[in-house]
Amino acid sequence: MSERPDYLFLLCALAATSYACRAGGFWLMRFVTVTPRLEAALRAAPLSVMIGVVAPAAVRGSIPELAGLATIVALMRWRPNDLVATMAGVAVVAGLRAFLR
């Protein structure tokens, strides 16, 4: 399989943009005084992003998506490991999608 040059350019542009956003955020935070309230908000930001990603799947999801979410919730309550729970949820969704075709 050969890659098209325009895809490679887009991939490099996306990588550079992602790096610039992260580096710019770190650079700008050097000038901000971190108060306890700001620290709490920064700690809550990843959770709010995850809820924004998961909520549409939960509302519009079918059996595989709901089973994947249930798997993630169960594993997070049993062993709070984000990576293991996420990988298990993805595996459940992929398996059920392949099985229910």
- Residues 42-96 pLDDT 10s: 888 888 888 888 888 888 888 999 999 999 999 999 988 888 998 999 999 999 9
CA atoms of 4 and 14, how far apart (whole Å): 16
User: Does residue 23 sit in the same domain as residue 55?
Assistant: no
Within this chain, do residues 28 and 50 fall inside the same structural domain, yes or no? no
Please tell me the predicted confidence (pLDDT) of residue 54.
Answer: 82
Identify whether 13 is part of a domain. Answer: yes
Encoded tokens for 53: 């990603």
What's the total number of domains in the chain?
A: 2
**pLDDT value for 2:** 65
d(CA 70, CA 97): 15
As a whole number of angstroms, the distance between CA 33 and CA 36 comes to 10
**pTM of the complete model:** 0.58
